[in-house]
Structure 1
Amino acid sequence: MITENRKPYFAKGFSRYIRYLMKKHFYEVHIHEQQPLHELTKPCVVLVNHSSWWDGLAAIYLNETKLRHNSVVMMDEEGVTSFPFFRWIGAFSVDRNSPKDVGRSLRYARKKLAAGETLWLFPQGRERHQELRPLDFQAGLPHMVRDASGDTPVVFITFYYTFRREQKPELFIETGTVDRLKNFQQLDFNEQLQAFEAQLTTQLNRLRDDVQTEQIERFSPLFKGRRTASEWFKLLTPGKKAGQR
């Protein structure tokens, strides 16, 4: 197991680089917070669906600019080995092929929660297409939170990627209603896992349906990307004007 070695100044600087990357590659990133992340007490358990390489970067950006907690995130050992600087952002590893290593990582996660640090998790354990159901949560989640205070907030965050009418894709981010761990800890481990998965699935399905049917009035821009080729074409066409970017 590889432990985290969080460097706050690096994390803040890296979040600015993430913003640059996302502005370059996305037409727009939208967000709706049912409860503003900056209002949440620490520590929290944050559960996020996982369908894209961008998920980890978006999570880092949200933590550094919205939640602003001293946070850690469990990451596959291959990823931490390939990109060791992720340790400076709070990543610690898990080798799912080694039961002993999985046990060490679960205990490390519990230790970090007990120390007051927020725990970000992608409970699917791997990238899966955003339309696949069930989400197929990994079994370790209830073990990581079993000793945490029942008053610990549980935050469900869903990411949904789509192409709409523009050249580049768009990302919709929704932070759902904040729950409390005690509402899950009263269940046995299998029931806890099912309850966590059901709540994130319901939120993701609603987000997908609302995006597909254009019911997105509740969202506001987190940021807009660069002007696209189609917008430049409009600017060069007499009598046409492209929207400000």
Structure 2
Amino acid sequence: MIRANRKRWFEAIMRQITHRQLRSHFHTIYWKGEDPYPSPAIYIANHSSWWDGLLYFHLRHTVIDRVVYILMHEEGLKKFWYFQWIGAYSVKKTSRRDIVEALSYSKQLLKEGKSIWIFPQGDEYHQEKRPLKLETGVGHLASQLPKVPIIPLTFYYSYGHHQKGEVAIQGGSPVYFHDLEGETRKQKTEALERLLEQQLNQVRQDVIHEQVEDYIKI
């Protein structure tokens, strides 16, 4: 696996680049969530767009914990190798040894008081695809760290009254893995799937019905 190697000077440069890119492609970025979120935490999010990664970085510098590390596919991090300078680390899904090492590294970061961000679907899927299916890693990690909350985040992209697109992002309430419905880790992971899907459906309805009064623009 490739470990993160954060560099503050590069984060400052990347912040400016990301800001320009997002403003040039999106008319509005809407956010609704709690303030502040506890730290450390495991942030999980649905994954439907290339933009998700840049929005992760934007959220880190606006509304959530700045000390968040993000787990990426190894091929993606090799292509965008400089992402390790903003807190990205990798996993090679075809290697069991690499998966174990990435989970161990994630656990280490959390024990050090740092938050992590995971796209638990494993790959990009269309935002309308249902049901949401989560891979086993997040459940494995959360079950071993019962005092670390999971924070569900949902992204929904749309085009409406403007030439540029919009994205609505909702941060849900922190949830602890042991409080999820079910007895086994598999059942609790399925409960987490339902929770994330329900939240995504709610954001979708907010966008469709233009009910964004409770959101802020970031």
- Give the shorter-chain TM-score range: over 0.9
Cα distance in 2 between the residues matched to 1:137 and 1:22: 28
One-letter amino acid matched to 2:47: H
Cα distance in 2 between the residues matched to 1:167 and 1:158: 23
Instruction: Find the counterpart in structure 2 of residue 30 from structure 1.
Output: 30
Cα distance in 1 between the residues matched to 2:27 and 2:69: 29
Structure 1 unaligned segments of length 5 or more: list them.
223-245
Q: Which has the larger radius of gyration?
A: 1
Instruction: Find the counterpart in structure 1 of residue 141 from structure 2.
Output: 144
Aligned residues: 218
What secondary structure, in the 3-state scheme, does the structure 1 residue paired with 2:48 have?
coil
* Alignment of structure 1 residues 4-19 onto 2, 5 Å: 4-19=4-19
Q: Deviations over 1:183-229 (max 9, x none)?
A: 2498422012112111110000011012112222212221xxxxxxx
Q: RMSD between aligned alpha carbons?
A: 1.6
Counterpart pick for 1:65 among 56, 62, 67? 62
Runs of 4+ off more than 3 Å: 184-187
What secondary structure, in the 3-state scheme, does the structure 1 residue paired with 2:56 have?
helix
Counterpart pick for 1:109 among 84, 90, 106? 106
What TM-score do the two structures reach when normalised by structure 1?
A: 0.84
Judging changes above 3 Å, is the alpha-carbon distance between structure 1 residues 192 and 13 closer, same or farther for their aligned structure 2 residues? farther
Cα distance in 2 between the residues matched to 1:146 and 1:52: 28
Q: Does 1:130 align with 2:124?
A: no
Instruction: Find the counterpart in structure 1 of residue 210 from structure 2.
Output: 214
* Alignment of structure 1 residues 59-208 onto 2, 5 Å: 59-148=56-145, 150-184=146-180, 187-208=183-204
Report how far residue 173 of structure 1 moved.
Answer: 1.1
What secondary structure, in the 3-state scheme, does the structure 2 residue paired with 1:179 have?
coil
Structure 2 unaligned segments of length 5 or more: list them.
none
Cα distance in 1 between the residues matched to 2:117 and 2:8: 16
One-letter amino acid matched to 1:47: I
